[in-house]
């Protein structure tokens, strides 16, 4: 290679040289034919030269003969010609993708291109950082996708900028990336929008965490989903965002709703049957009553707790001792209990109740609790007493008339006599078998 002496006279002054040296990348200035007019140390060092030694040398020759990259020299020349032809800057990377080359036109006063300024930036470190960032993003994405719940990140405008696969399948029914930046209006039901928007914005602006069970409506769905959410603030590229983690509790909600409905139906059934339910902890002596029991005992449920003493105080004095003994005996023997007793209301009225219960056992076979029901049997007791009284009156009438009643079942040949018939025959009651031979 032979220096073109004519270009020695065209050296730029020391100010331009100092300017090129101050740049962080390799840079050089060429004329329209590719001869180097000025350069800095970073560029010259690639060829083992001093900047002054490169001036006047054709850059294409340097790339071809020193770097031994003829294809790059041709490509470099083509890109320079493109800049001269279009007047626009061109940026490209070398074949190893470790250097970024920027070719910029330098215009003279008349608007014509007088020379080209080429900057070579080493992007290997940037590539390494990009790969690290890609790995980090992939790791974060994998972590988000491994979470068995919905994970969504909102920006300051409440646009969804990140969501995991669980959220996509659960809420959006699609993984279409074109729908990634949807707004909160597409996420929450309209009835909750005002309140939720305020809470999410409060989290973004002040950092206050927000925990709530919310109802969301999946895209294209008609049935709502229930999510137990925790929303907190995070910063992405220095900007505050809100990350919301939501656990699908729709199944739990359905069970809770069904349980509430069952309790309501049970409450209505017990009210209709004038019955209640109770539980007795044998170890702590704690008693639990359903709402219906209070009215069955004629009590007002204010702030008082159900106790064994409160129960015994409601029992009619004539029945109290026997009722307590029946329950104590059942608990002592760990057997089922069944007891009938009267309760005395504050208005003086008397009501009959029947309580039934069965023991619950632990793994060692010991009774720990009793559960049972209590029912108002006042009407039944009245009917029983009326029937007994009616039978007594009827028996008295037969005695007074010195008569009796018999019945013969022709099909079975069975006989039945009232007590008076036995007396009329001068026999003791049931002293002989009843038949036609008697």
Residue 125 neighbours by CB under 8 Å, 6+ apart: none
Instruction: Give the per-residue pLDDT at 135.
Output: 83
What three-state secondary structure class fits 432?
A: coil
pTM of the predicted model as reported, rounded to 2 decimal places: 0.42
H/E stretch holding 121:
strand 113-122
Range with the poorest average pLDDT among 25-29, 38-42, 116-120, 434-438:
434-438
Residue 415 neighbours by CB under 8 Å, 6+ apart: 406, 407, 408, 409, 434, 435, 436, 438
Rounded to the nearest 5°, which phi and psi values hold at 125? -70, -40
What three-state secondary structure class fits 339?
A: strand
Distance in angstroms (rounded) separating the CA atoms of residues 321 and 318: 7
Distance in angstroms (rounded) separating the CA atoms of residues 264 and 262: 5
Is the Cα dihedral 30, 34, 37, 42 positive or negative? positive
Q: Domains in the chain, start-ordered, CATH in brackets?
A: 5-122 (3.30.450.20), 139-248 (3.30.450.20), 273-381 (3.30.450.20), 402-438 (no CATH)
Neighbours of 431 (CB within 10 A): 8
Distance in angstroms (rounded) separating the CA atoms of residues 7 and 17: 16
pLDDT tens per residue, range 294-343: 888 888 877 688 888 888 888 999 999 999 999 999 999 999 999 999 99
Instruction: Give the per-residue pLDDT at 187.
Output: 54
Check whether 35 has a pLDDT greater than 90.
Answer: yes
């Amino acid at each position: 290679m032979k220096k073109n002496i004519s270009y020695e006279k065209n050296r730029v002054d020391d100010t331009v040289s100092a300017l090129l040296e101050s740049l962080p990348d390799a840079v050089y200035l060429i004329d329209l034919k590719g001869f180097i007019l000025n350069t800095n140390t970073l560029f010259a060092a690639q060829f083992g030269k001093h900047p002054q030694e490169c001036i006047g040398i054709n850059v294409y020759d340097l790339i071809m003969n020193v770097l031994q990259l003829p294809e790059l020299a041709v490509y470099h020349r083509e890109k320079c010609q493109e800049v001269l032809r279009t007047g626009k800057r061109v940026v490209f990377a070398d074949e190893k993708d470790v250097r970024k080359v920027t070719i910029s036109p330098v215009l003279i006063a008349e608007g014509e291109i007088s020379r080209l300024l080429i900057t070579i930036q080493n992007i290997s470190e940037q590539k390494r950082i990009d790969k690290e960032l890609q790995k980090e993003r992939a790791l974060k994405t994998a972590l988000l996708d491994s979470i068995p719940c919905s994970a969504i990140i909102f920006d300051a405008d409440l646009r969804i900028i990140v969501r995991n696969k669980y959220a996509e399948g659960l809420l959006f029914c699609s993984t279409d990336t074109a729908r990634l930046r949807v707004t909160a209006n597409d996420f929450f039901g309209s009835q909750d929008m005002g309140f939720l928007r305020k809470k999410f914005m409060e989290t973004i602006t002040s950092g206050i965490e927000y925990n709530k069970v919310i109802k969301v409506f999946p895209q294209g769905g008609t049935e709502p989903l229930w999510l137990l959410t925790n929303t907190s603030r995070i910063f992405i590229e220095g900007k505050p965002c809100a990350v919301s983690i939501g656990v699908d509790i729709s199944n739990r909600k359905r069970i809770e709703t069904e349980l509430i409905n069952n309790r309501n139906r049970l409450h209505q059934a017990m009210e209709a049957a004038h019955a209640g339910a109770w539980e007795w902890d044998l170890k702590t002596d704690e008693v639990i009553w359903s709402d219906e029991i209070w009215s069955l005992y004629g009590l007002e449920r204010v702030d008082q707790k159900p106790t064994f003493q409160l129960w015994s105080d409601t029992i009619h004095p004539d029945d109290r001792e026997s009722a307590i003994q029946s329950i104590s005996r059942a608990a002592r023997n760990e057997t089922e209990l069944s007891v009938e007793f009267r309760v005395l209301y504050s208005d003086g009225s008397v009501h009959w109740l029947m309580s039934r219960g069965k023991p619950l056992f632990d793994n060692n076979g010991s009774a720990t609790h009793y559960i049972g029901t209590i029912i108002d049997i006042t009407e039944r007791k009245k009917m029983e007493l009326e029937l007994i009284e009616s039978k007594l009156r009827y028996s008295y009438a037969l005695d007074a008339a010195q008569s009796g009643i018999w019945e013969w079942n022709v099909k079975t040949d069975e006989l039945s006599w009232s007590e008076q018939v036995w007396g009329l025959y001068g026999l003791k009651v049931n002293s002989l078998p009843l038949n036609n031979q008697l």
